[in-house]
Amino acid sequence: MSVILKAENISKQYRLGLVGTGTISHDLNRWWARIRGKEDPYLKVGAVNDRSTKADSAYVWALRDINFEVKKGEVLGIIGKNGAGKSTLLKLLSRVTIPTTGEIKTRGRIASLLEVGTGFHPELTGRENMYLNGAILGMTKAEIKAKETEIIEFSGCQRYVDTPVKRYSSGMRVRLAFAVAAFLEPDILVIDEVLAVGDAEFQKKAIGKMQDISKGEGRTVLFVSHNMAAVKNLCTRAIVLENGTSVFEGATDEAVDFYLSQNKIQESIPLTERKDRSGNGDFLFKDISIVNEKNENQLNLLSGESYKIQICSETRVKQANLKVRVQFIDNKGSIRFLCNNYFVDATAFNLEATKNNVIEYFIPKFPLPKGNYTIQLSCFSSDGLQDDIENALSFNVVGGDFFKSGKEQISKEGVLVDYTFKRIN
């Protein structure tokens, strides 16, 4: 198979902080260096892109020396944590901006499914927007016309197609936008986690369509996602990015394992010292533990038993309407279930500034089947995201007798729920 896309030593440098008065002097310095035929003086500086450490340079490398090749018909996954450089890479690939050094060569047209609905005009009808959006994405009028009925049908907005888009519900807008993008036929398609659009029915349709695109139609696809299950399902090869550099390249399964094992290393560090967190920093998680009825710490759990999730935190300022979310994630990256005080407790959770606050979730019948799981801890307040840690804790479920029947129900997806069986006659 021939190489359709090739990235050679691409790097992207960004300037930190505000574009202010310093900009002109830097611009002049650059210009002066160029006139004398010297190298850009600011290319030598720049720190590794580690979001959580304090910057000592005004410049940062969002991507550094990335090399890869994509063969025709290949589905390449790009995985990495938040801020690893995935979006920057996509921006470069979709030609929104150019790399600071290096080059990307391609033999086919690239189109991206980054964020759907770009360029919708509220006053135009669905049909008019369909044409406009298609043209923005690089289709000609004739191409769109040829697929008009298919697109409208796929979107499921037949009735509203001649109504201005401003009257659409947000879901309908997304459906229409996705439909247009899905019928694009570029040589290389770049997809960035658009899976989370629309209602369940449409999501299923969207994922199905993406599978068709990547598998059935033999198109070259670059797929960026956090969803390890989707990556495993769709991709033939994957790249793992970390802090702007490519740390692994190879078969999908190995890449996913590598990515997950990297996260494992993080777990051995206590929560208070973890740097890989996002949020505004006023509220910090300090510790999380799972305890059984006898208040003993547990990491090997049994399905059907009762457990308490105890979370210790501190807050520097007074907080109102806190939502503490505990997500239980399996080794494919899917969220199996979550706990959130907002849903179970009618009263608002407010906190005064405190060094030590402990909360507890009680799960009377632990619903996860056998497997390895991790917990993602997030806290939101009225001001937005306060703190968020992926892989705050990992634990195993080693078995268990959920139904008290002496048998164990094994399931790769979902959770165990109570149900009964009865013969009527």
Q: How many CB atoms lie within 10 A of CB 168?
A: 20
Closest approach of another protein to the CB of residue 73, in Å? 17
329/376 Cα distance (integer angstroms) = 7
> Minimum distance between the CB of residue 153 and another protein, rounded to whole angstroms?
22
Cβ 225 to another protein shortest distance, Å? 18
| Sign, CA torsion 174/180/183/187 | negative
Binding mask 339-368 for another protein (x = CB under 8 A): ------------------------------
What distance in Å separates the CA atoms of residue 206 and residue 126, rounded to the nearest whole number? 19
52 touching another protein, by CB under 8 A: no
The residue whose two tokens read 């770049």 is 190
Nearer to another protein, 98 or 251 (CB): 98
For residue 199, the cross-strand partners are none
User: Judged by CB under 8 A, does residue 119 bind another protein?
Assistant: yes
- Which window, 114-122, 268-276, 389-397, 404-412, contacts another protein (CB under 8 A)? 114-122
- Rg of the chain taking only CA atoms, in angstroms: 25
Residue with Cβ nearer another protein (122 or 208): 122
Q: Is 42 in the site for another protein (CB under 8 A)?
A: no
Residue closer to another protein, measured from CB, 190 or 377 = 190
- If phi > 0 it is left, if psi is from -120 to 50 it is alpha, else beta; for residue 352 that is beta
Interface region with another protein, contact rule CB under 8 A, candidates 119-127, 197-205, 278-286, 292-300: 119-127
Give the dihedral of Cα atoms 413, 372, 360, 391; nearest 10 deg.
Answer: -110
As measured in angstroms, the least distance from the Cβ of 176 to another protein is 16
Question: CB of 42: closest distance to another protein in angstroms?
Answer: 13
Q: Is 207 in the site for another protein (CB under 8 A)?
A: no
Q: How far is CA 30 from CA 14, 35, 39, 56, in A?
A: 15, 9, 8, 21
Spatial neighbors of 167 by CB under 8 A, at least 6 apart, are 160
Smaller CB separation from another protein, 125 or 292: 125
Q: Mask of contacts with another protein, 129-158, x by CB under 8 A?
A: --xx--xxxx-xx-----------------
Question: Amino acid identity, residue 122?
Answer: P
**87: left (phi > 0), else alpha (psi -120 to 50), else beta?**
alpha
By CB under 8 A, tell whether 95 contacts another protein: yes
Count of chain residues binding another protein (CB under 8 A): 42
H or E element that contains 417? none
Q: Which is nearer to another protein, 126 or 279 (CB)?
A: 126
Alpha helices in 268-371 (DSSP H): 341-344
Minimum CB distance to another protein smaller for 92 or for 309: 92
Of 414, 401, 178, 387, the C-alpha closest to 304 is: 401
Q: Shortest Cβ distance from residue 39 to another protein (Å)?
A: 12
Is residue 162 close enough to count as binding another protein by CB under 8 A? no
**With binding defined as CB under 8 A, does residue 218 bind another protein?**
no
Stretch that binds another protein, among 17-25, 193-201, 238-246, 256-264 (CB under 8 A): 17-25
Instruction: Count Cα neighbours of 242 within 13 Å in the Cβ-side half-sphere.
Output: 11
Identified binder of another protein from the candidate list 57, 82, 118, 149, rule CB under 8 A: 118
- Alpha carbon of 134 to those of 137, 147, 148, 161, 198: distances in Å? 5, 11, 10, 15, 20
Using rule CB under 8 A, residue 106 touches another protein:
yes
Q: What is the DSSP letter of 231?
A: H
Task: Give the interface with another protein as residue ranges (CB under 8 A).
Answer: 14-15, 19, 23-24, 91-109, 111-112, 114-115, 118-119, 121, 123-124, 128, 131-132, 135-138, 140-141
